[in-house]
Amino acid sequence: MRNLTKEEHRDAYHNEEVTLNGVTFQMVDESEDMDDKFKILTYIMGNDKGEHIMININLIRYGHEDYGYESSCQELEVYEVEKKEIVTVKWVTKK
């Protein structure tokens, strides 16, 4: 899959949809990871054919008490994804 253009990436962030090669993908799931310096939004987008892609929106925090987020530094890669159930087994202490 090809990379997004900056305009396509901006559209995905602001409109929650993007058109790639004539196929429109719309947001179906979103997750967020954040620390003191960054916020990373992960968008899972799907089309009418059941195909899914993942893109990341990287936001860099600036300021201290009166802070905001800058979105000019972006990873423009698109990842084809599929949903899978994963079972995890762990050893835990008895109570």
Do residues 47 and 24 lie in contact, with contact meaning Cβ atoms separated by under 8 Å?
yes
pLDDT tens for 67-91 read 666 666 677 889 999 999 999 999 9
Phi-psi region for residue 11, left (φ > 0), alpha (ψ -120 to 50) or beta?
Answer: alpha
Q: Residue 11 domain-assigned?
A: yes
Token readout for 41 is 């939004």
In a domain, 90, yes or no: no
Kindly state whether residue 44 falls inside one of the protein's structural domains.
yes
Q: Alpha-carbon distance 95 to 82, whole Å? A: 38
Q: Give domain status of residue 67, yes or no.
A: yes
CATH number of domain containing 75? 2.30.30
pTM of the model: 0.75
- 93 belongs to a structural domain: no
- Total domain count, the chain: 1
Residue 42 domain-assigned (yes or no): yes
The residue count of the chain comes to 95
User: Does residue 51 lie in a domain region?
Assistant: yes
Domain span at residue 45 reads 6-81
58: pLDDT confidence band, cut at 50, 70 and 90?
confident
Q: Does residue 87 form part of some domain?
A: no
Query: How many helices, marked H, and strands, marked E, lie in the chain?
Result: 1, 6
